[in-house]
Amino acid sequence: MSLTTPIYLDYSATTPVDPRVAEKMIPYLTKIFGNPASRSHSFGWAAEKAVEEAREEVARLVNADSREIVWTSGATESNNLAIKGAAHFYSGTKGKHIITVATEHKAVIDPVRELEREGFEATFLNPEPNGLIDIEKFKAAIRPDTVLASVMFVNNEIGVIQDIEAIGNICRENNIIFHVDAAQATGKVEIDLEKLPVDLMSFSAHKTYGPKGIGALYVRRKPRIRIEAQMHGGGHERGMRSGTLPTHQIVGMGEAFRIAREEMKQENERILRLRNRLLQGLVSIDEVYVNGDIEKRVPHNLNISFNFVEGESLIMAVKDIAVSSGSACTSASLEPSYVLRALGRSDELAHSSIRFSIGRFTTEEEIDYTVSLMKNKIGKLRELSPLWEMHLDGVDLSKVEWAAH
Amino acid sequence: MAYSDKVIDHYENPRNVGSLDKSDPNVGTGMVGAPACGDVMKLQIKVNDSGIIEDAKFKTYGCGSAIASSSLVTEWLKGKTLDQAAEIKNSAIAEELALPPVKIHCSVLAEDAIKAAVADLKAKQPMNKETV
Amino acid sequence: MQINKAYFDHNATTALDPRVLEAMIPYLSRQNGNPASRHWFGRMSRQAIDHAREQVANAVEAHPSQIVFTSGGTESNNLAIRGISTLGNGQAIAVSAIEHPCVMNPAKGLQKHGIKVNTIDVDENGKVIVDSLLEKLKTPTGLVSVILANNETGVIQNIDSIAQIARDHHALVHTDAVQALGKIDIDFNALHVHAMTLSSHKINGPHGVGALVIDKRVDLIAQMLGGGQERGLRSGTENLAAIVGFGAACELLKYERLEHAASIKSLRDALEIGLRNLGARIFGVAAERLPNTSFFAFEGIDGETLVMAMDRKGYAVASGSACSSDSTEPSHVLLAMGIQPDMARGAIRVSLSSTNSMEEIESFLTALANEISRFKQLTAIAV
């Protein structure tokens, strides 16, 4: 056995940097270190050329024009810039209502909450129990003063893929700026911004085998979308985002997105096979529930609740595999996942959920190890669980009157 | 969350996991907590004819500290009288397991489970019924 | 063909120290968790960030809990200006006339929110005029922001006394210490400011990371919202490798800064003797300056043209700051010092580091002398 534990199954939290990406970055850390804004000497020119080539690569993955790509420090900044930047720019002409979804990432929800404090109004749509948005409900939420809608492409916790094209068309018809958080989508689903009616789209490098600390925002040119800058200074990125560009990180993101474009198809097939192997292994355990639609979903993600075992003890039990319970950004807290609760899952099932996310370096051996580990540990925890015992005795737990503690 | 070695030991090798016959007049059962709160503890004690606890079993749905707290008290309970059992305090459990402040409620739950099991047993036993 | 190039633009950006790269490589090449994750990979990343936070804090005599990591100096300055100015005592913000655009522009942006922006004047050497500061503080002021060492002239301000005056007027104080870090000693507490901006790529650390050092009694308002990283003050997955590199670069400063400062200053002084002989005017020369920076101009010679000519000869120098290299506007720093626009337009900045040598200075002066005489001939013919 060549397995080393812990086994990394948390690719949705962050991916390792692909060795090819790291290799491409290193010269820009050591040899070509000019400030791309230094127009007066060749050190700066070499850096600028590399930045523009990377911009081209990012644009190619999503079939956009490189002039539509604005560098940021990551998807959080892209989301903040898109939401606050567009809301502020267009609120005067269109209005102050925003539509988003209860299962968005915090980096979308929190800026929208901030806008609410500034006097905007927001509708947080609840998705269907499978995690997908009902288009009719989206339509019904639209008001004459709706200025902006923000819907994520692929959910970070449950991996479901929203119908961005349909939602985008509705936004177009109603003259609503449409932002899409695609941090979890790049390299996993086809994105064609020439066809998709999307105005603003957020990207991250470190979810697609690039470095942390770099991301991008797509800002459509035709029809031209305007945003108010959130960071002011030297006027970099055509005034939309000031700050010295971190050349090596940008080069890394460009290379990561090039690899994603070239290898996505084969990679997704391989990952789907692994995911299905994991799924088959885990659903052979009694009383497990897959969270989120299993069809309209990226192959990388499997989110499962294990009934009658408690979430924290579950995480303790599976320390040989690195997985998330809920999203990485909130896993420091003991609150059950707000995403799963929005799907209507009980607190208990939300607590006892595990997100397995599979990636480029996952092996079949690792999947098999994981399945046998889960079977073993779930068995042990259930042996300990009074709830499991009651369930086996035929007690309907929902009818039990629990002493409030 | 950093668990103490004792918590990890009890979590990985829980003592006295299992169930006793609920209908046995010498068995007291205490079930406390609620699934929605993230903890349910079932604690059972069995007394011999001289009123000494000769066996204790538990099942717990909860975090590592909750499992360790209930595992620990099953060890402590054996050999004690019901009155001695009822004197076990949550602070002693928390201290023994070096529970962090956010996990003190696990020890409280274990104390509650003991009290509930003792009360259940006393309610079952005719001698005690008379004194009520 | 240019084989040996001399890099004289260290105030724009510096080369990564190989030892910093070495510290970063593990975080670029092996599996690294998201520092927010609770599993082993996440905990390892969290520990690396905690360590870097201590290294950065040590470099400026601050406490690790006072460090907020950001994407760089621009973000730190924006966070400070936008996140603090609405606190404190006032409807106004006062900034010096020689601030970097990433202080100046967010300050101007606040006007939209009804906050008045006052500009503190500087004297002919680029030092803040205390009477001007006092005058501006007659308006109740929430925040005073003054750059510790100017990026163009290298002139160092008496921040501690400026801070005391501001505090006496119930204003909070921020300083942009991006250029000062690594070139002079910085003691966050002794400066008596509430917030201070730092950047990694000016001290042989990687691009894409910086910090805001913040007095925790100040209720900084976060500008980037989301996952709640950096105690909620700056959301976004931490730039792990770059943060580790920033920490390592700070660690090196501790041991090497003093060792290098004297030799860099002697290079700069030799340069300036040569420049004076060529008839240059050196700006801010009477004030205390960073030991590595020289900002100068030649009467009647366009700086941009000279910079390009020098680049072709293999010397990377700057005209004004890199951020505004795009524009042909004269340096706002020099204008604030009362320099005539024509003269200011001709300004050239040389900024040195320990990697430069006396040979480079000497050959630069020779090349410069040739270019200047060539320009003078051209101008003479044109006339």
What confidence category does residue A31 fall into, taking pLDDT thresholds of 50, 70 and 90? confident
Nearest to A256 by CA among A213, A295, A285: A213
Q: Which of A7, A38, A76, A358 to mutate to test the interface with C (most CBs of C within 10 A)?
A: A38
Domain with CATH 3.90.1150.10 in chain C: 6-14+256-382
Q: So what's the ipTM on this one?
A: 0.90
DSSP H helices, A194-346, are 247-283, 311-317, 338-342
Q: Which of B8, B63, B65 to mutate to test the interface with A (most CBs of A within 10 A)?
A: B63
For the residues C42-65, what does the mean pLDDT come to?
96
Predicted TM-score (pTM) of this structure: 0.91
Task: Please state which of the ranges A77-81, C34-38, C186-190, C328-332 shows the lowest mean pLDDT.
Answer: C328-332
For the residues A278-286, what does the mean pLDDT come to?
97
Measured in whole angstroms, the distance separating CA C293 from the mean position of its chain's CA atoms is 12
List the chains bordering chain C where 3 or more Cβ pairs fall under 8 Å: A
Task: Please state which of the ranges A346-355, C84-93, C339-348 shows the lowest mean pLDDT.
Answer: C84-93
Burial of B21 (C-beta count, 10 Å sphere; 0-12/13-18/19+): exposed
Question: Per-residue DSSP letters for C187-251?
Answer: -HHHHT-SEEEEESTTTTS-SS-EEEEE-TTS-PPPSS-SS-TGGGTS-S---HHHHHHHHHHHH
Q: E strand or H helix at A8, and its extent? A: strand A7-8
Task: Please state which of the ranges B28-32, C38-42, C86-90, C112-116 shows the lowest mean pLDDT.
Answer: C86-90
pLDDT value at C348 more than 70: yes
pLDDT value at A204 more than 50: yes
What's the CA gap between C103 and C141, in Å, rounded? 16
B126 vs chain A: nearest CA distance in angstroms?
A: 26
What's the CA gap between C245 and C303, in Å, rounded? 35
Q: What is the pLDDT of residues A331-373, one digit of tens each?
A: 444 677 889 999 999 888 888 899 999 999 999 999 999 999 9
Per-residue pLDDT at C4: 62
For the residues C185-200, what does the mean pLDDT come to?
97
Contact, A20 vs A57, CB < 8 A? no
Across the interface, whether the CB atoms of A107 and C109 are under 8 A apart is answered no
Across the interface, whether the CB atoms of C201 and A43 are under 8 A apart is answered no
Per-residue pLDDT at C381: 62
Q: What is the pLDDT of residues A64-113, one digit of tens each?
A: 999 999 999 999 999 999 999 999 999 999 999 999 999 999 999 999 99
pLDDT value at C85 more than 80: no
Nearest to C81 by CA among C9, C163, C146: C146
What's the CA gap between A172 and A168, in Å, rounded? 6
Per-residue pLDDT at C1: 37
pLDDT value at C226 more than 80: yes
Per-residue pLDDT at B1: 54
Tokens of A243: 């700050």
Contact, C56 vs C186, CB < 8 A? no
Strands across the sheet containing B27-34: B27-34, B39-47, B53-61
Residue A405: CB atoms within 10 Å:
16
* Residue from the list A334, A348, A389 with its beta carbon closest to the beta carbon of B19: A389
- What mean pLDDT value characterizes chain C? 91
- What mean pLDDT value characterizes chain A? 92
A255 vs chain C: nearest CA distance in angstroms?
A: 14
pLDDT value at A248 more than 90: yes
> SS3 for C76-109, per residue?
HHHHHHHHHCCCCCCCEEEEECCCCHHHHHHHHH
**Active site residue ranges of C:** 323
pLDDT value at C2 more than 60: no
Q: Which of A26, A73, A362 to mutate to test the interface with C (most CBs of C within 10 A)?
A: A73
Per-residue pLDDT at B127: 61
pLDDT value at A295 more than 70: yes
Residues of B in contact with A308 (CB under 8 A): 61
Across the interface, whether the CB atoms of A231 and C308 are under 8 A apart is answered no
Contact, A74 vs A210, CB < 8 A? no
pLDDT value at A326 more than 60: no
What's the CA gap between C239 and B25, in Å, rounded? 63
Tokens of A244: 């010295």
Across the interface, whether the CB atoms of A384 and B14 are under 8 A apart is answered yes
What's the CA gap between A160 and A144, in Å, rounded? 29
Counts for chain C of helices (H) and strands (E), in that order: 12, 12
Domain with CATH 3.40.640.10 in chain C: 18-252
CATH superfamily for domain C6-14+256-382: Aspartate Aminotransferase, domain 1 (3.90.1150.10)
For the residues C12-16, what does the mean pLDDT come to?
89
What's the CA gap between C13 and C170, in Å, rounded? 36
pLDDT value at A43 more than 90: no
Contact, C142 vs C84, CB < 8 A? yes
Dihedral of alpha carbons C218, C219, C225, C231, sign: positive
A331 vs chain C: nearest CA distance in angstroms?
A: 6
Contact, A133 vs A153, CB < 8 A? no
List the chains bordering chain A where 3 or more Cβ pairs fall under 8 Å: B, C
Percent of chain A with pLDDT over 70: 94
Backbone angles phi and psi of C278, in degrees to 5: -85, 0
Tokens of B61: 């749905």
Residue A149 per-residue DSSP state = E
Per-residue pLDDT at A3: 84
Residue C154: CB atoms within 10 Å:
27
Which is it for strands B27-34 and A353-357: parallel, antiparallel or unpaired? unpaired
The CATH class, in words, for C18-252 is alpha beta
Contact, B94 vs B33, CB < 8 A? no
Across the interface, whether the CB atoms of A35 and C12 are under 8 A apart is answered yes
Across the interface, whether the CB atoms of B40 and A386 are under 8 A apart is answered yes
β-bridge mates for residue C350, sequence order: C294
β-bridge mates for residue C28, sequence order: none
Residue A100: CB atoms within 10 Å:
23
Across the interface, whether the CB atoms of B17 and A383 are under 8 A apart is answered yes
Residues of B in contact with A334 (CB under 8 A): 38, 102
Question: Per-residue DSSP letters for C298-339?
Answer: -TT--HHHHHHHHHHTTEE-BSS-GGGTT--SPPHHHHHTT-
Amino acid at C170: H
Per-residue pLDDT at C325: 47
What confidence category does residue B129 fall into, taking pLDDT thresholds of 50, 70 and 90? very low
Q: What is the pLDDT of residues C230-259, one digit of tens each?
A: 999 999 999 999 999 999 999 999 888 878
pLDDT value at C175 more than 60: yes
pLDDT value at C323 more than 60: no
Size of interface A-B (CB pairs under 8 A): 78
Percent of chain A with pLDDT over 90: 80
Q: What is the pLDDT of residues B100-125, one digit of tens each?
A: 888 899 999 999 999 999 999 999 87
Percent of chain C with pLDDT over 90: 75
Q: E strand or H helix at A333, and its extent? A: none
Per-residue pLDDT at A33: 65
